Structures are given as C-alpha cells and as structure tokens.
Amino acid sequence: MTLHWVPATERIDLLADPVALAVPAVEGVEVAEIDPDLADTAEFCERYGVRLDESANCVVVAAKRGGETRYAACMVLATMRVDVNGVVRRHLDARKASFAPMSEAVELSGMEYGGITPLGLPDDWPILVDTHVAEHARVVIGSGVRRSKLAVSGAALAALKRAEVLPLAG
C-alpha cells in the first residue's frame, strides 16, 4: 500500500482533537491515512514500506517521587528502546519510573493507544526526544488516532515547547 501524504492542516479529520490544535504551530507536518488495524509500528512499517529506523514511537512514562506522579513523553526510533529506569528516571529526578498504564496514557493525553504523539500532549509534560530522532530529516509518528500517521522532521520535534534532546536509548 502507498501512503498519500498531505499537509496535516488540510486533514484535521485524521487527527485527535489535541493534535489538531497543536499541528498549526509545527512546521511541515504531513498526515497520511492508514488502516487502523495496522497502526502498531511493526505491522505499519511492513505493510506501508516504511523502515523501522524512519519510524519513531512516543512512549508515555510515569515518574514517581514522594507520592507525586509526573508524566513525560519519550520519542525514540522504533529500532531502539527507551532507557526508562536509567536515563529517563534520572533526568526526571524520580525515585521510580515506568511505562504509564495504557488507560492512564489514553485518558490523560486525549489520544488513542497506538497513536499517542508528542504534538498536543498536556502542557506540563516534558517531551524527551532521543538524539537519533532529533537528527532525522523526517520521521513517521502517531497522529493521536490509529487511522493515520504523521511525518515530521526531527528538528521540528526537538523544537517543540517543553522538548529536550538527550540520548534516551539504553
């Protein structure tokens, strides 16, 4: 199957509400409609001919310290794993860090599981962008829903408000 990329501002019907609000502030974001049953990274890449190292995942992390839970989004290439218990935990100054439960990630982000993206996340969430993602000319990421994907430059992700670039892969 072929992806038909169009400017995301022209197809906000393919975006989750918080993503649709955030997209106009980010330069060069494109969207393509996909089969929602193929939204998971491996299946998507195989079916649509996108390499895993051209695809980036947004992982929601819950960081706990002193009875308080804070959330962060981590952007990492699909070929890599986020070092949640090392780099991320230390960076967020947390006693414990783990992947946020799916129900919490969905409820707090206002996005569908499997489509969570850094665009449109709550204002108090840091967005941690792996250096490999930031260096990419173009990566494919979620759109907030399972029926589409976004394409955006790594530089645009690194320039997001609250974004910090650091080596996240363990």
| Phi, psi of 52, deg, nearest 5 | -60, -35
Residue 11 lies in a domain: yes
For residue 157, tell me if it sits in a domain. Answer: yes
Residue 54 placed within a domain: yes
Cβ contact 58:142 at 8 Å: yes
| pLDDT string in tens for the chain (170-residue length) | 789 999 999 999 999 999 999 999 999 999 999 999 999 999 999 999 999 999 999 999 999 999 999 999 999 999 999 999 999 999 999 999 999 999 999 999 999 999 999 999 999 999 999 999 999 999 999 999 999 999 999 999 999 999 999 999 86
Q: Is residue 85 part of a domain?
A: yes
Instruction: Report the predicted TM-score, pTM, of the whole model to 2 decimal places.
Output: 0.96
User: How many domains does the chain divide into?
Assistant: 1
Both tokens of residue 14? Answer: 């393919």
Domain assignment present for 1:
no
Where in the sequence is the domain holding 18, given as residue range(s)?
A: 6-166
Q: Which of 23, 110, 121 is CA-nearest to residue 71?
A: 121
- Please check whether residue 106 lies inside any domain of the structure: yes
CATH at 146 = 3.90.960.10
Q: Is residue 155 part of a domain?
A: yes
